[in-house]
Structures are given as structure tokens and as C-alpha cells.
Amino acid sequence: MAVAGLYRRILPSPPAIEFASAEGKQLFSEALQNGTMEGFFKLISYFQTQSEPSYCGLASLSMVLNALAIDPGRKWKGPWRWFDESMLDCCEPLEKVKSEGITFGKVACLAHCSGAKVKAYNTKQSSLDDFRDHIISCTSSEDCHLITSYHRKPFKQTGTGHFSPIGGYHAGRDMALILDVARFKYPPHWVPLALLWQAMDTIDEATGQYRGFMLISKFQSAQSLLYTLSCRHESWFSSAKYLVEDLPILLKSESLHSISDVLSLMFESLPTNAENFIKWIAEVRRKEEDRDSSFLSEEEKARLAAKEGLLQQVHETKLFNIVRYWLSSCCSNAQSLCGKVSFSEIAASVCCQGAVLLSGGLREDKSLCCRSTCVKCLNPSDQTPITIVSGSVISGDTEQKVDMLVPVSPSTSLSSSNLRSYCSSALENCSGMHPGSNDVLTVLLLALPSDTWMGIKDEKLLDQIFDLVSTEKLPDVLQQEVLHLRQQLSFLVRCKECRK
């Protein structure tokens, strides 16, 4: 009887050695004794088979993210937060990945957006010896994992480009263990490291770029408290390019004689929709019918207090006051930056996004409608003031109620009474209570690389700029936030192939 489809492939050996074979087991035992299988156990605990023929990059990444115990911050299914291929779509629609696969740069971008620390190298940015050193380092630790992007042909395997994590290294034989996520096709197998390098040293026809490898680890401290750079809007690349490449050239203009001149030049030349590039992070929770909205857990209180402390530090910088004055006086020339979007619109949008995340999704569902929003400014006697936005989100016949916890700078706290509520159109009374254009642009200026300003010809003006944007004078929490945003910006600029 004829059977449709294919059932696995025979692993070409040589050059590969099947992991479960007698020789493969011997290699494992010797590598384990030599200490270069340390990362294996974490990876194998979360080993998964790619759910689609073209999901090798997504499967490799979700496997590594889970092995590193990185919290995705949103639900997978039921109450569980967990990385799955279906959640990795912020840099490329899943439909496109399913039909076309994914590029090396976009996998690195996904890892970064998912909260991992990423170092990506194509073969022209590294060497076989460097690659060997990185593999030894990663396989000797549980804190870093390596994903390779390679072509199957040098291994005499069927198929073309592929991604998989490295699970171990045998120094005596100079072989690496590939934990092939296409387990329906090939089992895990050992390959000569030099041949793996040859397989990586090939060009991906989709981008014209060489393949390579990426080192993925976990940040030792929290990334962003209140601000983040976003690559989820299509304008992210032009914004990143403008800030890092174009702006330094513009600042060489001889017509710059004041801080106001610099801000006008910078902000009035921003690409379209650049305001979508930097965002403030809102915390959203499902509203429980049997729980008072004003009740916050100790964890929620601590996170909100940290955000509010950071917001206050931003407001206390000299740069913040200068940016606020410039926006108030020059806003007619920079309409997109002036906070013309009402707080009720912001609240409705965030509540809709929150409803999607709490349901396990990522991209905003255009069919969602936020029927009503209400701001409650609470000042209970037993805790610091709290600002909560409550919204009712409608999708078809279903309704989901969500709360958004809004950080409020002590200097802009609205109420000293026990409870004040602003609903629907009255939300506009709350302008100034939440992070807005003033502090977002202040933080963006602080996050620019220090050499951005070197083209300014007026030495006195250059000294004034450096005095305003120096990170050395910032409080520790704000300094950490700014330096993280600077790292984000640098990473996004390096991912030029992500456009393709």
C-alpha cells in the first residue's frame, strides 16, 4: 500500500555521527568529562521540533530562550508564560516565515526583542578559530547558548538553509553537536567543526549576506523599566538610521548657535512616524470582578514605584526642562512630537493591546474596540498614590475588562483626595500625569551615542550639549536605563539586513 509523504531521512554518515549511535554516545561521554557539555542539559530540557518546515529559526530561538529562563512577560496558553514559535512574530509576520523562512538578521532581532542579550556574527566578521573559542565558551557554561545558521549541502543532507542550536563540543575530535530542530527529518548529530564553518560560510540568497552564528545570553539585570525602542512599526529602520548615521552629518551645519537650534534641527528632520520608535512601557492586568481595582500586590507596588522613581529622575534633569520649553514654544514645526494624541486615545489603545497580550497574542487585533475608559487617581492612607486606567474591550460578543497601571511622577501627582475618577472625555484632565513627549524625547537624546554631537562646530555650544547629555552625572537607575536604550539603538542599526 502506498503511503503519502516522507518518514524521516537517513543521516549521511560520514560526515555526521548520530548522537544516539555507539560512537555518538562515546563522544558525548568524553565531552562531558572534559566539561564542554554544560549547556547541553538546559537545552535538551527544552528541545523541541519545529512545528512548520520553515520554522527552524523560530524553534531554535524559543528553545534557547526557555533554556535561559527568560520570562516572555505574556501568556502562552492558560496562565502560563512560555516562549513558543507562535509568539515570535514582532520582526516578521508568521505567515511570511511559514512561506519563505526567516533570515539570520531577523532571528537575531527577534532574540533581542524577546529580552535576550545577542551577539551576532556572519562568517566575514569572524574566523574558524574565533568560532571554536565561542563554542568552547558556550558549551562550558549554562549561561550562554549558540545558534548556527548554515547550509545543509556540505553535510550531504537534503535541504538548504537551516538554523539549530549547538549542544556540545568534543575537543579531541574537534566536533560540534547540532541539536537539529527538524527532528522529523534528522536526529541530533556530531559534525566536524571545520565543516560546520564551511556550511556557515555560504550566502543566503534571500539577503545576499553570509550566514553565521549568534551568541544568546540573559541580561544580568532588568532591561528597561519605563522606556524601550520598538522595531514593531515599519518606520523603525529609517528612525534608527537617521539618529545614528544622518543626524551627526546634519549637526555639522554652521547655523547652529544654541540648544534650541540643535533641537529644532534634530526633531524637525525626523522621519515620518518616528514617534513610534521610542515607547514607554505600560503594565496591564486583567480586571477581576471579585477584586478591588485599587488593590496592588507587593510585586506590582514595587514595579510601579521603580517606574515612578525613574520618571521623577528624568523630570529632574536639566535637559528635560529645556525639551519641555522647546516643545511648548516650537510645537507648530514638530506636530508629531507634541503630544496631540489625547490621553483617552492612549488609554484606549493600551487597553486594547493589553487585552491581546492577556489573551496570548502579540499583534493588535483591529476588530477590538475599547468601549469605555476610566482613570482612577487613588491616594489610600496605607500606600503611595496610585493611578489606574480601567477599560472595557469588546471583540464580537465577548468583553474583557483590563486595568493599566500608570506611573506618575510625584511632582505631577493629581490628587490628594482618597479617590478621583475621570471617565471618557474627562480623561483629558489627566494630561501631564503619564509619561509623555517631554520625557520620552529627553531620554532619547540621552541615549544617543556620545560621538553624535562631535560635528557641532561651536565649541561653547558643544560643551553645553555634553553637559546636558552626559550619562556620568545621571542617577544610577536612569543611567542604566539610558545605557540600555543606547545598546538597543546600536543593535538595531547593525541589523540592516532585517529590512530585507
Contact (CB, 8 A) for 226 and 310: yes
Cα dist. 331→268, 270, 338, 339 in Å?
Answer: 10, 14, 6, 9
**What confidence tens digit (pLDDT) does each residue in 268-295 have?**
888 877 767 777 676 666 555 555 555 6
**Among residues 122, 101, 112, 135, which one has the least CA distance to residue 65?**
112
Q: Please tell me which residue in 89, 112, 134, 180 is annotated as part of the active site.
A: 180
Q: Is the pLDDT of residue 400 over 70?
A: no
Q: Is the four-CA dihedral 428, 431, 436, 442 of positive or negative sign?
A: positive
Dihedral, 94, 99, 104, 110 alpha carbons, nearest 10? 0
Known active-site residue 90 = no
- H-helix or E-strand spanning residue 178: strand 175-178
Q: Please tell me which residue in 112, 162, 434, 484 is annotated as part of the active site.
A: 162
For 206, other C-beta atoms within 10 Å of its C-beta total 15
Residue 77 makes CB contacts below 8 A (sequence gap 6+) with: 360
Q: Is the pLDDT of residue 476 over 90?
A: no
Q: Following DSSP, what letter does each residue of 263-274 receive, concatenated?
A: HHHHHHTPPTTG
Give the per-residue pLDDT at 414.
41
Out of 29-33, 57-61, 117-121, 404-408, least confident range: 404-408
Q: Is the pLDDT of residue 257 over 70?
A: yes
Q: Which one has a higher pLDDT value, 473 or 404?
A: 473
- What is the rounded CA–CA span in Å between residue 382 and residue 344? 29
**What confidence tens digit (pLDDT) does each residue in 322-365 have?**
998 888 876 554 555 554 444 455 555 555 555 454 454 444 45
- What is the rounded CA–CA span in Å between residue 155 and residue 431? 62
Known active-site residue 180 = yes
Per the document, the length of the chain is 500
Counting Cβ atoms within 10 Å, is residue 272 exposed (0-12), middle (13-18) or buried (19+)?
Answer: exposed
Q: How does residue 13 score in pLDDT terms, banded at 50, 70 and 90?
A: confident
Q: Which one has a higher pLDDT value, 499 or 315?
A: 315
Q: Where are the beta strands (DSSP E) in 200-344?
A: 203-204, 209-210, 212-218, 227-229, 278-280, 283-286
- Verdict on whether the full-model pTM lies above 0.85: no
Q: How does residue 417 score in pLDDT terms, banded at 50, 70 and 90?
A: very low
The domain 17-218 having CATH identifier 3.20.20.70: the answer here is: no
Give the per-residue pLDDT at 341.
46
Q: Over the chain, what is the mean pLDDT? A: 79
- What is the rounded CA–CA span in Å between residue 212 and residue 134? 12
Please report, for the chain, the start and end positions of each structural domain, with discontinuous segments joined by +.
17-218, 227-439
Identify the bridge partners of residue 372 per DSSP, sorted by sequence position.
392
Strand, coil or helix: 200: helix
Strand, coil or helix: 143: coil
* Greatest mean pLDDT among 172-176, 245-249, 466-470: 172-176
